[in-house]
């Protein structure tokens, strides 16, 4: 009888602990389950892994989560680019920023922002960092723009995006790139 009295509270505590919510890096607006819609593996110009990106759908909303590694410490711009090509060393094959709506550049630009604008990534002393962002447009619009005939790349730049200068935010050269592929 004593054993039963001890086990029951332990089982209750274990059950309650399992129900505890944990925080994650998903956008706060994502109240529906996230469905994977694509991914990219980012590489530095020498082929060294630089991180991973994942596209998710939640209802009619799209988001991207990017984890970076092996990047120099500091603030770096991250953008979606018009072409799914990452030819090293300069990654210029990725084209300009993804801008299907022909908007101005910059998250703080009163005439912007475009689909390719993403938050800057702050890279820690150990070379790692991450960003999470909700993409502009409906799920169908975003998927059509990302998976168009020539695809889309995710590019990390040498410096920060000033979030207002058109067309590229004075972000400097391209240091890492990955082609987005559908799941």
* Cα dihedral across residues 156, 71, 158, 160: positive or negative: positive
Residue pLDDT, tens place only, 112-153:
788 889 999 999 999 999 999 999 999 999 999 999 999 999
12-21, 32-41, 121-130, 134-143, range with the lowest pLDDT:
12-21
Beta strands in 23-164 (DSSP E): 35-44, 49-58, 61-68, 74-76, 78-81, 121-123, 129-134, 153-157
pLDDT beyond 70 at 17: no
Q: Which two tokens stand for residue 85?
A: 């090509």
Residue 34 CB coordination number (10 Å): 18
Per-residue pLDDT at 7 exceeds 50? no
pLDDT of residue 32: 63
What distance in Å separates the CA atoms of residue 183 and residue 143, rounded to the nearest whole number?
Answer: 12
What are 55-102's pLDDT values in tens digits? 999 999 999 999 999 999 999 999 999 999 999 999 999 999 998 987
Q: What is the rounded distance in angstroms from the CA atom of residue 57 to the CA atom of residue 147?
A: 14
Percentages of the chain per state (helix, strand, coil), in multiples of 5: 15, 30, 50
Helices (H), the chain: 2-19, 139-146
Q: What structural domains does the chain harbor?
A: 37-182 (2.60.40.200)
């Amino acid at each position: 009888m004593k054993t039963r009295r001890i086990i029951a509270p332990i089982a209750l505590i274990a059950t309650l602990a399992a129900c505890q919510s944990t925080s994650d890096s998903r956008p706060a607006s994502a109240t529906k389950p996230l469905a994977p819609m694509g991914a990219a593996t980012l590489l530095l110009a020498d082929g060294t892994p630089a991180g991973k990106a994942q596209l998710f759908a939640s209802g009619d909303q799209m988001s991207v989560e990017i984890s970076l590694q092996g990047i120099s410490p500091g603030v770096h711009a991250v953008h979606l680019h018009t072409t799914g090509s990452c030819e090293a060393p300069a990654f210029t094959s990725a084209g300009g920023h993804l801008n299907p709506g022909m908007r101005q550049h910059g998250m703080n630009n009163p005439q912007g922002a475009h689909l390719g604008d993403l938050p800057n990534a702050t890279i820690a002393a150990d070379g790692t960092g991450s960003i999470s962002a909700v993409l502009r447009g409906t799920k169908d619009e975003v998927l059509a723009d990302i998976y168009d005939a020539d695809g889309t790349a995710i590019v990390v730049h040498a410096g920060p995006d000033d979030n207002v200068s058109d067309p590229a935010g004075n972000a400097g050269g391209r240091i890492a790139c990955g082609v987005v592929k559908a799941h």
